[in-house]
Amino acid sequence: MENYIDRLNPNQRRAVMTTEGALLVLAGAGSGKTTMLASRVAYILENTDTRPWQILAITFTNKAADEMRDRIAKYADVDIASMWAGTFHSICVRILRTCIDRIGYTSEFVIYDSDESKTLIKECILQLGLDDKEYSPKSLLSIISRAKNDSTSPEDFMSEYGSHPRMKRVGKVYGMYMDKLRANNALDFDDLILHTVKILKNEPDIREKYRDKFKYILVDEYQDTNNTQYELISLLVNDNSNICVVGDDDQSIYKFRGANIDNILNFQKDYSNALRITLDENYRSTSNILDAANAVISNNKKRMGKNLWTNKAEGEKITSYTGCTEREEAAFIARKIRQERANYGRFGDCAVLYRTNAQSRAIEEALMYEAIPYKVLAGQRFYDRKEIKDIVAYLKVIYNPRDSLSIRRIINEPKRKIGNATIDKVLRHEAEDETTMFEVLRTANNYEDLKNVAIRLKDFADMIEDFRVKAYNEKMSVDKLVEYVLDKSGYMAMLKNEDTTESKTRIENIEEFVNVAYEFVHNKDTEGKLNEFLEKVMLVSDIDNYDSEEDCTVLMTVHSAKGLEFPVVFLAGMEEDLFPSQRSMMDDEDLEEERRLCYVAITRAKEKLYMTRAESRLKFGQRLPNIPSRFLSEIPREYIKDESTGGVRARNIIERAGVSIRPEPEYTKVRTRDDAPPAVNEFDFKPGDRVRHRKFGDGTVVSSQAFGKDAIVVIDFDSSGTKRLMAVFAKLERIMEGDSK
């Protein structure tokens, strides 16, 4: 086995060998935390009387859990197959399979993804007679998710918001949604943790069982835990408080998902005797990159405080670039990627990060023009493709016949001449008889209004029963079961008969899904059961699918890049209102999170970092001017070299590609240097001034900032929202003098 202890630095070694009591490891970006975590587990197994199944290690991605297992196996001469290592969701599924009957579910529950949850929400909205435009399924699901992350039940929700008409209706949707999930023996992602917490709180024997079981608990990325995850961990920690949490307050970037940075900031208050060890030696980036990251994050007030350092060389300065438009910015990025590929040998060594997915369009066009292979990480997931979701729905029904949502998805895939009117009758009988949809299908002959289609309904039910026999009585392996379902259901024949380019692509995707099932069956770390396979499919994330060996440039949001690293990183769109986002401007905590997000982006780069922006960007059909991001100004000039060329070379590339820069209306055009300067009083506005615009109406000036010989005026219009306009072209009329203070 590897001599892993000798390879650790002093702080890592101390964190590994401090096995007893509560421990907070404040691990900076690239500081070797995975090595430390794996070494700690190996050390515990080799130097205490702990068995692998007595260790609980919680990670935020399956990929991180797999990497930890692989490293532990290299370090320790112990079989770790029984160790509990996985994400919060996968750990909770494992617990729930043994005790979810305590809250009225069966252990054969299935997990619904966000699309399936939205479908149920739509049904609730329809049944309650609400307008789905006023109460959009997406927004309601977001409200419900936040409530669950705060452990707020539908009853608690109604108690809190019962006097608020709109929120009272949302509460009714929430309650009906939960009833539908229970009827389908299904849980959404939030339920996995919420129901586990509920059982551990209310069932002392279950709680003590797991507290006794886990002698040591390790939690990675602790800064990203939400309130229910925090509560789950607290319930599992035993009296010995042998809990080690690893995280970085400077990388807490998931507030929009419910993450609570106070969980890590208050850890030493929660565990009064907790020891804190800081890992601040970075093994990833050059010192110039780290110095820039340190300079940016030092402007945050709500942080523990640390300074990353490295023994690596100073490295190249950070390259900044300003294009006239987003297309010029994109052309620069594409040109530099081709140059860096010549230096490094692979397109896959370059990554383009941005704040919002909408920024990718111009970059993708530039990469296509330069014939640079690329992959958008936030594109459609493999498991979100229709044909894959159809086959997964078949497997869900085989595992859990109570899943009426999945039955409805596949009952006419392929076509079986079972119309919507028939399905509505089946659902009505399901509700009236308080039975399941599958049972109504199986006994359709017993219902007068279904007799004319009873044969078709029963044939479908018999087919599902046959699949269940193959899965459970004959113990057919998952990969063979998938092939059997594709054949006997007629799904594969349907695609072959279509004989279109699209159907051929779908067949290729299905064949890849069979490969996924085959690899699962032959994985020594699984038992090969159908429920395990469904859990794997439902809980996979975008990062889990990222293949670093694929030679193509990867494009992704900064949020998606968390946990990844690249030799060369391009950070695009470094502009105010974009990064930091406009939504963060009014709240200090939100602005600090945006700064942490920038810190994460910078520290993804190992050797080279480019930070780019555009002087103007097309938004909602208007070309609007931009000012540089404040985060750029927070980096000392000695760490930056500017390669801006006024956009001339980039404009030539765009014109050679045959892509014209669309002329904009006169009042939104960016000023050129040859334009005559306006009179001072044309843009001499102060916050509070009341102004009138010919298109947007009356509004109040929020701010005014000089921009060359012009000015950028931010105005909160009474009926049109906030706009950023060039003063000289906006032709604003002053209608009331503002407060001059």
Rounded to whole angstroms, the Cα distance separating 219 from 58 reads 5
Instruction: With beta carbons less than 8 A apart as the criterion, state whether 579 and 598 touch.
Output: yes
724 catalytically annotated:
no
- Which residues, including other chains, have CB under 8 Å from residue 499's CB and lie 6 or more apart? none
Facing residues of 25 across strands?
246, 277
Please count the other Cβ atoms lying within 10 Å of the Cβ belonging to residue 57.
Answer: 26
Marked catalytic residue, from 54, 59, 61, 251: 251
| 436 flagged as catalytic | no
Which of 221, 224, 248, 577 is the catalytic position?
221
Angle between helices 478-488 and 491-498 (to 10 degrees): 60
Going across the sheet that includes 721-726, the strands are: 721-726, 710-717, 697-707, 690-693, 733-736
Long-range contact pairs involving 297-305 (C-beta distance under 8 Å, separation at least 24): 297/250, 297/595, 297/596, 297/599, 299/595, 299/634, 300/250, 300/592, 300/595, 300/596, 301/592, 302/249, 302/261, 302/265, 302/589, 302/592, 303/249, 303/250, 304/26, 304/249, 304/265
String of b and e for 372-405 (b: at least 16 CB within 10 Å)?
bebebbeeeeebebebbbbbbbbbbbbbbbbbbb
Count how many Cα atoms sit within 13 Å of the Cα of residue 396 in the half-sphere of its side chain.
Answer: 30
Distances in whole angstroms, Cα of residue 730 to Cα of each of 582, 626, 696: 21, 15, 10
The burial class, CB within 10 Å (0-12 / 13-18 / 19+), for 150 is middle
Amino acid at residue number 130: L
φ/ψ bin of 675: left (φ > 0), alpha (ψ from -120 to 50), beta (otherwise):
beta
> In 3-state terms, what secondary structure has residue 320?
strand
C-alpha 667: how far from chain center: 39
Q: Which residue in 14, 18, 19, 34 is the catalytic one?
A: 34
Strand 605-614 relative to strand 566-571, pairing: parallel
> Which bin fits 528, alpha (ψ -120 to 50), beta or left (φ > 0)?
left
692 noted as active-site residue = no
106 catalytic? Reply is no
Contact between 75 and 39 (Cβ < 8 Å): yes
* Residue 58 structure tokens: 């919680």
Burial of 113 from C-beta contacts in 10 A (0-12 / 13-18 / 19+): middle
Residue of 33, 148, 606, 613 marked catalytic: 33
Termini Cα distance of the chain: 71
Is 675 noted as a catalytic residue in this protein? no
**Taken in order 124, 128, 131, 136, is the CA torsion positive or negative?**
negative
**Inter-residue contact 154 to 171 (CB < 8 Å):** yes
Count of other CB atoms within 10 angstroms of residue 79: 11
- Any catalytic annotation for residue 623? no
Question: Can you read off the two tokens belonging to residue 83?
Answer: 């160790």
Alpha helix locations (H) across 562-605? Answer: 588-602
Which entry of 116, 188, 220, 594 is annotated as an active-site residue? 220
Amino acid at 611: M
- CA-to-CA distance for 206 and 381, rounded, in angstroms? 36
Torsion of CA 151, 152, 156, 157, to 10 degrees: 180
**At a CB cut-off of 8 Å and minimum separation 6, what does 589 contact?**
255, 302
- The Cα 401–Cα 529 span in angstroms is 17
Strand partners, 618: 623
Among the listed residues 341, 604, 606, 671, the single catalytic one is: 604
Beta strand 110-111 with 275-279 is: unpaired
Report the catalytic residues.
33-34, 220-221, 251, 604
